Amino acid sequence: MFHQPRIPPNTGNAIRMVAGTGCELHLVGPLGFDLSEPKLKRAGLDYHDLASVTVHENLEAAWAAVEPARVFAFTAHATVSYADIAYRPGDVLLFGPEPTGLSAEVLADPHVTERLRIPMLPGRRSLNLSNAAALVTYEAWRQHGFSGAAL
Protein backbone atom coordinates (compact mmCIF):
# COMPACT_ATOMS: atom_id res chain seq x y z
CA MET A 1 0.00 0.00 0.00
CA PHE A 2 1.42 3.37 -1.06
CA HIS A 3 0.07 6.28 0.94
CA GLN A 4 -0.12 9.44 -1.18
CA PRO A 5 2.63 8.53 -3.68
CA ARG A 6 4.16 11.47 -5.55
CA ILE A 7 6.52 10.08 -8.21
CA PRO A 8 4.84 8.30 -11.16
CA PRO A 9 7.76 6.02 -12.15
CA ASN A 10 7.94 4.59 -8.62
CA THR A 11 4.31 3.59 -8.81
CA GLY A 12 4.84 2.26 -12.34
CA ASN A 13 7.71 0.11 -11.10
CA ALA A 14 5.52 -1.15 -8.24
CA ILE A 15 2.79 -2.05 -10.74
CA ARG A 16 5.31 -4.16 -12.61
CA MET A 17 6.45 -5.78 -9.33
CA VAL A 18 2.91 -6.70 -8.23
CA ALA A 19 2.22 -8.19 -11.66
CA GLY A 20 5.30 -10.38 -11.21
CA THR A 21 4.52 -11.44 -7.65
CA GLY A 22 0.74 -11.76 -7.70
CA CYS A 23 0.23 -9.37 -4.81
CA GLU A 24 -2.02 -6.31 -4.78
CA LEU A 25 -1.08 -2.65 -4.90
CA HIS A 26 -3.35 -0.25 -3.03
CA LEU A 27 -2.83 3.44 -3.74
CA VAL A 28 -4.18 5.83 -1.13
CA GLY A 29 -5.01 9.34 -2.27
CA PRO A 30 -4.60 12.01 -2.89
CA LEU A 31 -2.10 10.87 -5.50
CA GLY A 32 0.58 13.27 -6.69
CA PHE A 33 -0.10 12.37 -10.33
CA ASP A 34 -2.75 11.11 -12.71
CA LEU A 35 -2.82 7.37 -13.43
CA SER A 36 -2.59 8.15 -17.14
CA GLU A 37 0.81 9.84 -16.56
CA PRO A 38 3.20 8.71 -19.37
CA LYS A 39 6.09 8.11 -16.94
CA LEU A 40 3.89 5.78 -14.87
CA LYS A 41 2.83 3.90 -18.00
CA ARG A 42 6.42 3.63 -19.25
CA ALA A 43 7.77 2.32 -15.92
CA GLY A 44 4.99 -0.27 -15.74
CA LEU A 45 5.59 -1.37 -19.34
CA ASP A 46 2.89 -3.77 -20.52
CA TYR A 47 2.21 -5.13 -17.02
CA HIS A 48 -0.71 -2.82 -16.14
CA ASP A 49 -3.31 -5.36 -17.28
CA LEU A 50 -1.58 -8.11 -15.25
CA ALA A 51 -1.49 -6.16 -11.98
CA SER A 52 -4.10 -5.78 -9.28
CA VAL A 53 -4.19 -2.06 -8.48
CA THR A 54 -6.87 -0.35 -6.41
CA VAL A 55 -7.08 3.38 -5.73
CA HIS A 56 -8.68 4.56 -2.49
CA GLU A 57 -9.77 8.13 -1.86
CA ASN A 58 -8.14 8.20 1.58
CA LEU A 59 -6.78 5.93 4.28
CA GLU A 60 -10.16 5.39 5.93
CA ALA A 61 -11.58 4.14 2.62
CA ALA A 62 -8.57 1.83 2.21
CA TRP A 63 -9.04 0.32 5.66
CA ALA A 64 -12.76 -0.22 5.00
CA ALA A 65 -12.03 -1.97 1.69
CA VAL A 66 -9.04 -4.05 2.78
CA GLU A 67 -10.02 -4.83 6.40
CA PRO A 68 -6.42 -5.72 7.31
CA ALA A 69 -5.54 -7.98 10.22
CA ARG A 70 -1.98 -6.64 10.33
CA VAL A 71 -0.41 -3.48 8.94
CA PHE A 72 3.33 -2.92 8.88
CA ALA A 73 4.26 0.73 8.45
CA PHE A 74 7.74 1.44 7.08
CA THR A 75 9.73 4.31 8.53
CA ALA A 76 13.39 5.15 8.99
CA HIS A 77 12.52 5.97 12.61
CA ALA A 78 11.58 2.39 13.60
CA THR A 79 13.87 0.05 15.52
CA VAL A 80 12.50 -3.30 14.29
CA SER A 81 13.89 -4.65 11.00
CA TYR A 82 11.58 -5.85 8.24
CA ALA A 83 13.65 -9.08 8.28
CA ASP A 84 12.57 -9.89 11.85
CA ILE A 85 8.91 -10.37 10.94
CA ALA A 86 7.13 -13.62 10.12
CA TYR A 87 4.80 -12.38 7.40
CA ARG A 88 1.33 -13.81 6.87
CA PRO A 89 -0.89 -13.80 3.79
CA GLY A 90 -3.03 -10.67 3.87
CA ASP A 91 -0.50 -8.50 5.69
CA VAL A 92 -0.46 -4.90 4.53
CA LEU A 93 2.93 -3.31 3.86
CA LEU A 94 2.39 0.45 4.17
CA PHE A 95 4.84 2.86 2.57
CA GLY A 96 4.76 6.66 2.66
CA PRO A 97 5.08 9.34 0.02
CA GLU A 98 8.30 10.47 -1.51
CA PRO A 99 10.22 12.30 -0.09
CA THR A 100 8.64 12.68 3.37
CA GLY A 101 7.62 9.15 4.33
CA LEU A 102 4.62 8.40 6.51
CA SER A 103 3.37 11.22 8.71
CA ALA A 104 3.19 10.93 12.51
CA GLU A 105 -0.59 10.81 12.16
CA VAL A 106 -0.48 7.80 9.82
CA LEU A 107 2.14 6.05 11.95
CA ALA A 108 -0.16 6.48 14.97
CA ASP A 109 -3.18 5.04 13.13
CA PRO A 110 -4.70 2.23 15.24
CA HIS A 111 -4.61 -0.12 12.24
CA VAL A 112 -0.80 -0.06 12.28
CA THR A 113 0.40 -3.23 13.97
CA GLU A 114 4.09 -2.37 13.98
CA ARG A 115 6.57 0.12 12.56
CA LEU A 116 9.45 -1.43 10.62
CA ARG A 117 12.67 -0.20 9.07
CA ILE A 118 14.94 -1.35 6.28
CA PRO A 119 18.56 -1.27 7.48
CA MET A 120 20.85 1.19 5.71
CA LEU A 121 24.23 2.76 6.27
CA PRO A 122 24.27 5.67 8.73
CA GLY A 123 23.46 9.06 7.28
CA ARG A 124 21.22 7.71 4.51
CA ARG A 125 17.64 8.95 4.52
CA SER A 126 15.74 6.27 2.60
CA LEU A 127 15.61 3.87 -0.31
CA ASN A 128 13.66 4.50 -3.48
CA LEU A 129 9.98 3.75 -2.77
CA SER A 130 9.53 1.02 -5.38
CA ASN A 131 12.83 -0.62 -4.37
CA ALA A 132 11.83 -0.64 -0.69
CA ALA A 133 8.43 -2.14 -1.51
CA ALA A 134 10.00 -4.81 -3.73
CA LEU A 135 12.60 -5.75 -1.13
CA VAL A 136 9.99 -6.32 1.58
CA THR A 137 7.47 -7.98 -0.75
CA TYR A 138 10.04 -10.49 -1.90
CA GLU A 139 11.05 -11.26 1.69
CA ALA A 140 7.42 -11.96 2.62
CA TRP A 141 6.98 -14.08 -0.51
CA ARG A 142 10.26 -15.95 0.16
CA GLN A 143 9.00 -16.87 3.63
CA HIS A 144 6.07 -18.62 1.93
CA GLY A 145 8.24 -20.53 -0.54
CA PHE A 146 7.47 -18.18 -3.44
CA SER A 147 4.00 -19.74 -3.60
CA GLY A 148 2.67 -19.85 -7.16
CA ALA A 149 5.98 -18.87 -8.78
CA ALA A 150 7.75 -20.67 -11.60
CA LEU A 151 11.03 -21.52 -9.92
Binding site per annotation, positions for S-adenosyl-L-methionine: 96, 118, 126
Backbone angles phi, psi at 90, to 5 degrees: 95, -10
Residue ranges of the annotated binding site are: 96, 118, 126
DSSP 123: T
DSSP 3-state of 34: coil
Cβ count near 33 (within 10 Å): 16
